[in-house]
Amino acid sequence: MVHVREAVENDLPQLLSIYNDIILHTTAVYDYEPHTLEMRKQWWETKKQQGFPVYVAEEGGKILGFSSIGPFRAWAAYKYSVENSVYVAAEQRGKGTGKLLIPPLIDAAKKLQLHTIIASIDATNEASLRLHKSFGFEEVAHFKQVGWKFERWLDLKFLQLIV
């Protein structure tokens, strides 16, 4: 049975594996090169310093996906706005893992007295767009040709949920 829990540092190698697969094979992350474990550790430390949670969906010791929130923009007036991230292992996509990983982010945002969550999603990622909309996120922006990956221009959509 799949359960969702807060991530611990020992989860980082599995999170890294999921993240790197996404970098290499999808447009969900607009990056080209796989990250190192040291980079993931720095990411983890930053999340902890900023007081933002990371959640994992786990089954039998295997992490199926993870989610987190973090700053939307660096300036002070954005302090009540966060951006979310939801990443699911390739073999688990379409099986409902993402649906398990968004509610704890929404609950955490409320507990942290945040005002809004913004999701930045590649315009061709229909599954993620549908997932976010099912939780009340609304499309608020469509940026055309802002990324270049896999020898093509990528459009980016922003979806927003006021919590």
Domain containing residue 31: CATH number: 3.40.630.30
Assigned token pair, 155: 């459009």
Residue 89's pLDDT is: 98
Quick one: what percent of the chain has pLDDT higher than 90?
A: 99
Whole domain around residue 97: which residue ranges? 3-162
Q: Tens digit of pLDDT for each residue in 30-44? A: 999 999 999 999 999
Please state at what angle helix 37-50 crosses helix 12-25, rounded to 10 degrees: 110
Residue 2's pLDDT is: 95
pTM to 2 decimal places = 0.96
When pLDDT is averaged across residues 57-63 and rounded to a whole number, the result is 97
Secondary structure, 3-state, the chain: CCEEEECCHHHHHHHHHHHHHHHHHCCCCCCCCCCCHHHHHHHHHHHHHHCCCEEEEEECCEEEEEEEEEECCCCHHHCCEEEEEEEECHHHCCCCHHHHHHHHHHHHHHHCCCCEEEEEEECCCHHHHHHHHHCCCEEEEEEEEEEEECCEEEEEEEEEEEC
Structurally, how many domains does the chain consist of? 1
* End-to-end CA gap in the chain: 29
Residue 129's pLDDT band, with cuts at 50, 70 and 90, is very high
Assigned token pair, 113: 């007295």
